[in-house]
Amino acid sequence: MTFQLVDVLTIEAVERFTFSEVAKLCELSHEEAQELIDYGAIRSDDSEGTECFYSAQKLSVLQSACKQRRDYDLDLFSVVICVQYLENIADLKRQIELLQAVRRP
């Protein structure tokens, strides 16, 4: 329980994460994380030299998908699909919030 709290605080305090940090926070091996990059589930936001960085928002989505993987014993390809759906849901929620903000008097 404390471990999850530390993860949430870390995500809120840091704007971007390295590949190694993403793998650790999502409880993935480096090979699994690389496979998710190859599938397109993890996309970097920017890079400096050879190091790629990932946003806290993308990390949060990936953590949710990886939790589903652990809870339901899913394969990595299922995580890719889960990430896509979670990203779509987050986008739709943002659109709803924008529409509600416009409609408020």
CATH number at residue 57: 1.10.1660.10
pLDDT at residue number 6 = 46
Full-model pTM: 0.79
**Full residue range of the structural domain in which residue 78 is found:** 2-103
Digit-coded pLDDT (tens) for 53-103: 999 889 999 999 999 999 999 999 999 999 999 999 999 999 999 999 998
Contacts of 23 (CB under 8 A, 6+ apart): 29, 30, 32, 33
Tell me the CA distances in angstroms from 73 to 29, 61, 91, one per residue in order: 16, 18, 27
Residue 104 binned pLDDT confidence (cut-offs 50, 70, 90): confident
